Amino acid sequence: MLTKRLKAITDLVPNNASVIDIGTDHAYIPIYLYQKNITTNITASDISSKVLEYSLENLKKYNLDTKIPLVLSNGLSDIQRKYDVAIIAGMGTHTIKSILNSPNIPDTLIIQSNNDHYKLRKFMMELGYKIDREVVIHDKKHHYIIIRYIRGFEKLTEAELTFGKSNNLEYLNHLRETYQYLYTKSKDKIFLNYINMLDDFIEKILDC
């Protein structure tokens, strides 16, 4: 049984695409994709050989050790072939950016960063990728932002870079409450500025 976060990631994978899960760790994503027949053309990779021993144990549990190749690689650096889709989840934006500094990046990327979403969205825009879907998952007190990118150009506004394109009102209201709390505590005008930006942003969404 996948967590809500992992399930939401797999929901964004196109049927029958060739997929590489970079930083697979437990290999739950590849196992689920294979078992549900979303795609059987999936490679699991990780930078750590220790981690891959654990991934292998999990693949064996589901009799998938001969079906899902495991590859030791720092990002895409030791990956020879090109995939339709790369999944990069559960890492920070700094690591994700270093992984994407590669000549053979797939045309579709499913990314879930743990931090710095503004920096990630800006980096992706400059890399020549646009947001195809963005979802926010609320699971066990955390909000997880999951973005499917495809190649293309878009000019995100400052508000879209900051708050994303999910239009998830529960998440946006949660952000507003957080900024309100931080402003009350610190009286730092930066939080007031975020609250004003957010109010305009939410109003535009509700107008649509």
The binding site for ligand SAM (CB under 6 A) comprises 22-25, 46-48, 51, 74-75, 89-91, 95, 99
Give the closest residue to 21 by CA, choosing from 101, 110, 129: 110
Q: Which is nearer to ligand SAM, 73 or 172 (CB)?
A: 73
Minimal distance, residue 14 CB to ligand SAM, in Å: 19
Q: How far is the CB of 193 from ligand SAM (least distance, A)?
A: 32
Closest to ligand SAM by CB, 120 vs 202, is 120
β strands within the chain, DSSP E: 19-22, 42-46, 70-72, 85-91, 108-113, 129-139, 142-151
Q: Which stretches of 2-74 are DSSP H helices?
A: 4-11, 28-35, 49-61
Kindly list the strands in the beta sheet with 42-46, ordered across the sheet, starting from the edge strand earlier in the chain.
70-72, 42-46, 19-22, 85-91, 108-113, 142-151, 129-139
Minimum Å distance from CB 90 to ligand SAM? 3
Closer CB to ligand SAM, residue 144 or residue 201? 144
> HSE-up of 98 (CA within 13 Å, CB side)?
9
Nearer CB in complex with ligand SAM: 47/159 = 47
Q: How far is the CB of 172 from ligand SAM (least distance, A)?
A: 24
β 142-151/129-139 pair status:
antiparallel
Q: How far is the CB of 76 from ligand SAM (least distance, A)?
A: 8
Whose Cβ is closer to ligand SAM: residue 87's or residue 195's?
A: 87
